[in-house]
Structure 1
Amino acid sequence: MNHVLCGLAVNESLPFELVARLMAIADADIADCLAGRADLSREQAVDLATRVEESAVRLAYEGRLTAADINPLTQPQAALALLDECSGDPEWARLFAQDPDAGRREKLAACPGLPADVRETLAADPDVRVVAELALWATADLAARLARHPHAEVRRAVAANEATPPQVLAMLITGEGLPPAERCLVCDDEETPYTHDSYCPRFDCDLRSGTSCAGAHESTIHEMTEQALRNPATPVEALLGFADHPSALLRCQLAARSDLPPETAARLAGDPAPGVRAELAENPAIDDALIRVLAADRGHDVQRRLAHNPRVPLDVLFDLAAATKIGSALLPRITSASPSEIECLSRSSSSVVRMLLAERPDLPAEIRNVLADDPDAKVVKSIARHPGLSETQLRSMVERHGVRVVAKVAANPETPSTLLDALTRHLPPVRKALREIARHRNATGPALLACLTDRQARRVAAGHPALPPEVVVELLADDDWQVARAAAANPSLPAAVMVELVLGLNGA
């Protein structure tokens, strides 16, 4: 891969005539970069798609090509992309339904709006993966039919399809009214009983990790049940028995259901597996009484997940903030807090609660300013990124809390150039701050030069338009390909250098 040419291909300042030159020598990587250019004309898009089919797929998905621009025989992947976007010729679907390449038929099966005869052809496909892909996206009537398919892999896909009728999903769960599955991917290829090694060394093996079959397609049936538990269309009445299922994974899926009845939720609150109780804790379907029960649960991750429940009462949230490490996350309950609740939160004696409030991006200015003067560094770190803060406020944060807040101040989109310059000279240096400054719209040339001293910041700073042009040119030869590519994409790269790079590499 020529990283410099790939960078040039996305450079917004690349002259029009050089785009054409690059197209003439483009490989798949360069063509993919060119395909993303906003200024690519329709004629150029068609030409690029003709030269490099991989680019045609991206161009098709981005609406830059029409059915008239694509030959399905020579550009099958692009034709399938247009079908996936409902922009292809329906006759193409009939063509691909008979394609000897099963991968193309599988891709076709995922396309919406297929003609009825094509769906029927794919439903009878000899490759079960094609049928399973069709089942995943099938309409209700076809999904109901495919639920009776003898292969467990197809039934697994039907269970994941939200268009599958509820009564059919219930049948898949209970097995009532359906003949038993006859095959699965495991027993298709292996003598049973067989368990697939999670670290299988075979390069040609595409069985899922850990799958097994002892004659009843156990792992695939388990996966089918898991998909049905996740499917919101599955009637919850058919799932309640899983509260006592030996599989903790299935009990976790039940605990996450938004339609979980209170009595089942109460049973799961006593589940021996903390992962089940943690899943339940974040479920907005649980009531206040159960929330308060789980607030005292010291099981792994239960209290932290409960803090993320949008219905957790504020007094419980206060207790959770003191009892567990929540981190500086924007919690749903904080997002929905009323103006009076925001005022209450801002006056909390708990610095953790004030920190959580500071994560909310739409705070009233007076609350934001109070938190900006907070004596606790973790509160100031959370508020430092908020727009509307003055340079004086931001400088005060750095003076009071030093390295603990420098990176967050640098990340504020309104931090002025003068302060960014000063942050690059902060002692001791803060590398995270350099990485923020490297992408900051207000960064100056001198600040960006300082950013080049950090390996990660260097990769970003090399593409910043404020970097001096002569430095950008030097970085084209950098040992780090990401730096060289970013420099080539920098709009400040001199046009003469662009010409030299393109013409020199294509022999013109």
Structure 2
Amino acid sequence: MIRLLCGLAANPALPADLLDRLTGLAGRLTDSDEDLACALAERTDLTDHHVRALAAAESAAAELVRTGRLDPAEVDPLERPSVALALLDEGVGPPGWARALAAHPDPRIRWQLASRPGLPLDVREALAADPDVSVVAEFGIWTTDPALAARLAAHPHAEVRMATAINESVPPAALAALITGEGLAPAASCLVCDREDIPFTHDPSCPRTDCELPGGAACAGGHESTVHDTLQRAARNPATPAGAAASLAGHPSMIVRWSLAERTDLTQEVYARLAADPVPGVRDEAAGNPALDGPLIRTLATGGRKDVGLLRRLARLPRIPLDVLADLAPSVRLGPGPVPRLAAATERELAALAASPHAGVRALVARGRGLPAALRDALAADPDAAVVTCVAAHPGLSEDRLRAMVARHGVQVLAQVAANPDAPPALLAELARHDPPVRRALRAIAAHPHATEPALLPCLADPRARTAAAGHPALSAPVLAGLLADVAPDTHAPTATAEAAAANPSLPRAAMEELLARADRSL
């Protein structure tokens, strides 16, 4: 029943008096089931009375905070720390709250406070000196104070250094020191040697229920696993000087090299080295880096003919030369979506590619959005179904062109035509009645704003299109009433389809009242 009420809570057509009744029902639910209160808290038509009633639920209060409707004066930070933290997150909590929470006896509260922005200086200093290492480490991730960040990057505990290594507010010299060790005293401890006699390596399948160490955590006196994770984070951090990061290109850990390959400020020589890495994941990451220039892309494309993954990543680079892209297109499957390089192509370049004898090249052009109308229409008339499939969902195509596509290519293009924002109601109804049904077309029709009830009824027979169709405002009251009774066969609980029907703005008032009456009787 709660699922149906949550759907009703999301219904934009819910009358004000029924909203009052639904809010009252939410107040009668136990603390263990706050879903209804949360769903109501997302509405934009709540009165002050509704807000006060819903704020009693912790998760609903957090949503009310995010939307600026909960008055901080009504919150006691010590009694409701999670709500106070949410208010601080939005920058509306008084500074005194942060000071109270920084001294909270529960380290979990202090840990959550550590990630909040705009904290007073004395609170930041307190968190940086917190007796719980996890709190200091969390603060090290989030602080934007360069002086504090630099201090934590040199903290005697390796866990704090590791956490801080990802923080872009750490000064570059301090980040470089985490990699080179220059001017940095060795860490005195880590979580492993805090808890275990060393040397120790944590079994990933550790049977101890009280053990919180991550799998593979190890220390033989040098805090090895934590130092490794520090290097990985520093390699990825864009604030780390490129020269210091590049020194890790030959690091024995593939995870460190993989992290390095994400950077966009390395030299082409370093990218070339990473693109030749023995680990496929490192090679693919480097090959997909947008900082690769044209000559290196050409070299990699020429030398990587047997590495399909690498070629696929190269083809999606914004700086790939057009002739290299055209050479790869016929043989490399690039997946859905437009190709970045073509987004910057001129009309003349697009027209030249669209005239290619290879359907794969023409299909690349057809994926692009914002094509000139003449080029779009020419591609819509292409003899190859793969090309037409790529262009069929483009806005601006006339009904005659959409029908011509279906007539020529049938089921191959049905789903894409159904997804076209300009597809008219009559065409959508015809596509929905296709025999045999084209399931992808039904899913597109179920969410199409032009769909009418004759088009939506066949969608209700498809398990994956059914829920979207149930939320479509074109459905009539009798159909919606039937969908409200939709239950899972194993649990007999209302389904997502029933919830979508309850949220449908076309749901009649009588059906809303019946749902509320049933809920009132069951509570």
- Give the Cα–Cα distance (whole angstroms) in 2 for the partners of residues 281 and 433 of structure 1: 35
> Are 1:265 and 2:271 an aligned pair?
yes
Give the AA of the match of 2:487: D
One of 285, 288, 298 as aligned partner of 1:282: 288
How far does residue 287 in structure 1 lie from its aligned partner after superposition?
2.8
- Matching of residue 142 in structure 1 with residue 148 in structure 2: yes
CA contact (8 A) 1:31 1:55 kept: yes
Bigger Cα displacement from structure 2, 415-424 vs 75-84: 75-84
Q: Which amino acid aligns with 1:496?
A: A
| Structure 2 contact 78–100 (Cα < 8 Å) conserved | no
Structure-1 residue corresponding to 2:497: 483
- Alignment coverage as a number of residue pairs: 507
- Cα distance between partner residues in 2 of 1:341 and 1:196: 57
Q: How does 1:21-40 map to 2 (within 5 A)?
A: 21-26=21-26, 27-40=33-46
Q: 1:370 to 1:217 in 2, by over 3 A?
A: same
Q: Secondary structure at the match of 1:455?
A: coil
Task: Determine the structure 1 residue equivalent to 2:126.
Answer: 121
State the match for 1:226 in structure 2: 232
Equivalent AA in structure 2 for residue 487 of structure 1: A
> More displaced, 99-108 or 202-211?
202-211
- How far apart are residue 192 of structure 1 and its match? 3.7
Q: 2:475 maps to which residue?
A: 467
* Equivalent AA in structure 2 for residue 179 of structure 1: A
Q: Which moved more, 1:138-147 or 1:344-353?
A: 344-353
Alignment-mate amino acid for residue 156 of structure 1: M
Partner of 1:399: 407
Residues 274 and 299 of structure 1 are in contact (CA less than 8 Å); yes or no, is this contact kept in structure 2? no
Alpha carbons 1:266, 1:290 under 8 Å: kept: yes
Q: Give the match for residue 510 of structure 2.
A: 496
Q: Find the counterpart in structure 2 of residue 360 from structure 1.
A: 368
Amino acid at match of 1:234: T
Is it true that 1:424 corresponds to 2:432 in the alignment? yes
Question: How far has the Cα of 1:53 moved from its partner?
Answer: 1.8
**Match among 100, 103, 120 for residue 95 of structure 1:** 100
Moved more, 416-425 or 255-264: 255-264
Aligned match of 2:159: 153
Larger deviation, residues 408-417 vs 496-505 = 496-505
Distance 1:433 1:104, change over 3 A: same
- Specify the code of the residue in structure 1 equivalent to 2:11: N
The verdict on how the C-alpha distance between 1:403 and 1:206 changes in structure 2, with shifts beyond 3 A counting, is: farther
Who is 2:175 aligned against?
A: 169
Change (3 A) 1:89 1:264: same
Q: CA RMSD in A?
A: 1.9
Distance 1:195 1:18 in 2: 60
Cα drift, residue 274 of structure 1: 3.2
1:212 positional shift = 3.1
Helix, strand or coil at the partner of 1:399 = helix
By how many angstroms is 1:209 displaced?
4.3
Residue aligning to 2:443: 435
Change (3 A) 1:502 1:204: farther
Which residue of 308, 319, 328 corresponds with 2:316?
308
**Distance in 1 between residues matched to 2:214 and 2:393, nearest whole Å:** 43
Contact 1:275 1:300 (8 Å CA) reproduced: no
How far apart are the structure 1 equivalents of 2:198 and 2:25? Answer: 53
Structure 1 equivalent of residue 258 of structure 2: 252
Alpha-carbon distance in structure 2 between the residues aligned to 1:44 and 1:140? 43
Q: Distance in 2 between matches of 1:201 and 1:14?
A: 52
Contact 1:136 1:158 in 2 (8 A): yes
Q: Which residue matches 2:135?
A: 130
1:201 to 1:498, Cα distance in 2 relative to 1, 3 A: farther
What is the CA-CA distance between 1:64 and the residue it aligns to?
A: 2.0
CA distance 1:210–1:38, shift in 2 (3 Å):
farther
| Preserved CA contact (<8 Å) 2:418 2:445 | yes
TM-superposed CA distance for 1:35, in Å, is 0.8
- The answer to whether the 8 Å contact 1:329/1:356 transfers is no
Quick one: structure 1 residues 189 and 495, their matched pair in 2 at CA, closer, same or farther if it must change by over 3 Å?
farther
Equivalent pair of 1:281/1:306 in contact (CA under 8 Å):
yes
Amino acid at match of 1:133: E
Kindly tell me: are residues 200 and 305 of structure 1, through their superposed partners in 2, closer, same or farther at Cα, counting changes over 3 Å?
A: farther
Indicate the SS of the match to 2:163: helix
> Are residue 58 (structure 1) and residue 63 (structure 2) matched?
yes
Partner residue, 1:69? 74
Do residues 84 (structure 1) and 89 (structure 2) align? yes
Q: Mark the CA change 1:206 to 1:353 in structure 2 (over 3 Å): closer, same or farther.
A: farther
Q: Distance in 2 between matches of 1:435 and 1:197?
A: 46
Describe the shift of the 1:187–1:316 C-alpha distance in structure 2 as closer, same or farther (beyond 3 A). Answer: same
Q: Give 1:92 shift.
A: 0.5
The residue type paired with residue 55 of structure 1 is A
2:438 is matched by which residue type in structure 1? V
CA distance in 1, matches of 2:301, 2:284: 11
Closer, same or farther: CA 72–446 of 1 in aligned 2, 3 Å = same
Counterpart contact for 2:445–2:459, Cα < 8 Å: yes
Instruction: Find the counterpart in structure 2 of residue 46 from structure 1.
Output: 52
Q: What's the CA shift for 1:133? A: 1.2
Q: Residues of 1 paired with 2:424 and 2:198: CA distance? A: 68
State how far apart, in whole Å, the 1-side matches of 2:398 and 2:62 are: 47
Q: What's 2:8 paired with?
A: 8
Q: Deviations over 1:124-169 (max 9, x none)?
A: 1122221111111111110001112122221112110011100000
Q: Secondary structure at the match of 1:378?
A: helix
For 2:185 and 2:471, how far apart are their aligned partners in 1?
61
User: Structure 1 stretch 296-305 or stretch 141-150: which is displaced more?
Assistant: 296-305
Tell me which amino acid in the other structure corresponds to 2:398.
S
Deviates more, 1:112-121 or 1:341-350: 341-350
Residue identity in the other structure for 1:308: R
Give the alignment of 1:341-360 within 5 angstroms: 341-360=349-368
Cα distance, 1:263–1:450 mapped onto 2, change above 3 Å: closer
Displacement after TM superposition at 1:188 (Å)? 3.2
Distance 2:332 2:458 in 1: 39
Distance 1:346 1:42 in 2: 59
* Contact preservation (8 Å) 2:192, 2:213: yes
| Amino acid in structure 2 at the alignment position of 1:62 | T
1:199 to 1:10, Cα distance in 2 relative to 1, 3 A: farther
Q: Contact (CA 8 Å) 1:328, 1:355: kept in 2 or not?
A: no
Asked if the contact 1:46–1:69 (Cα under 8 Å) also holds between the matched residues in 2, the reply is no
**CA offsets 1:412-432 (integer angstroms, 9 cap, x no match):** 122111001000111221011
Distance 1:198 1:394, change over 3 A: farther
TM value normalised by structure 2: 0.93
Q: Summarize the Cα distance change of 1:19–1:352 in structure 2 as closer, same or farther, 3 Å threshold.
A: same
3-state DSSP of counterpart to 2:69 = coil
Corresponding position of 2:492: none
- Aligned residues of 1:66 and 1:82 also touching (Cα < 8 A): no
Which residues of 2 match residues 327-346 of structure 1 at below 5 A? 327-346=335-354
1:108 and 1:423, CA in 2 relative to 1: closer, same or farther beyond 3 A? same
What's the CA shift for 1:201? 5.8
Corresponding residue SS for 1:413: coil
